[in-house]
Amino acid sequence: MDNQKVGELIRKLRRERGLTQLQLAQMLHVSDKAVSKWERGMGCPEVALLEALSRIFEVDMQNLLSGEMNRNTILGGNPKRMQFYICPDCGNLVTSMADAAVTCCGRKLKASAPQKAVGEEKLTVQRIENDWFITSAHEMTKAHHITFVALLTSDTILIKKQYPEWDLQVHIPFFAHGLLLWHCSRHGLFYQVV
């Protein structure tokens, strides 16, 4: 742990919040001299204070300890580069336009890497008037089902939640080109081009 980097980050985050050293010290039940010492790189907060600092500054404790806030590269907003984070415990779905630090049910989630669907894995896609009608013979039980179907185009994201009790029958507005993604509760994230 680099005391200088940690101290610089604490100073930066404190100023962003509009707090004085004394105000931060009072929130942490320490002296303003202790905060000054941290910010000058002459020491670091005690381990017992890290969780409170993380909560006050709304930053990940790992970033606080490293003294760095890594910024994401801007990807230009193309939904086809969307990242899908899926909790294996509760099935929660979080999307992001770039890599993100996502946690759910106490776990740090990694973005799911979509696999190209082949053969029987593919969904059946038919155009009916102004919609794509999407079906599948995929098992839809609590233990094994498709949790969502999404269509991504260059400027649109449409996600349809699915439930084990339903047969997979989804209507999505027709777009000339797009990427169809879906998540199987047992086998992960798949895609096919439509």
Show me where the domains of the chain are located: 3-66, 79-193
Q: Would you give the end-to-end CA distance of the chain in angstroms?
A: 49
Residues in the chain: 194
Spatial distance between the Cα atoms of 43 and 33, rounded to a whole number of angstroms: 11
pLDDT given at position 99: 79
Q: Which numeric CATH code is attached to 3-66?
A: 1.10.260.40
Residues of the chain with pLDDT under 70: 70-80
Q: What are phi and psi of 97, to 5 degrees?
A: -85, -5
Please give the CATH superfamily to which domain 79-193 belongs. Answer: SOR catalytic domain (2.60.40.730)
Averaged pLDDT of the chain: 89
What is the pTM (predicted TM-score) of this model? Answer: 0.66
pLDDT given at position 71: 63
Q: What are 93-139's pLDDT values in tens digits? A: 999 887 788 899 989 899 999 999 999 899 999 999 999 999 998 99
Beta strand 188-193 with 115-116 is parallel
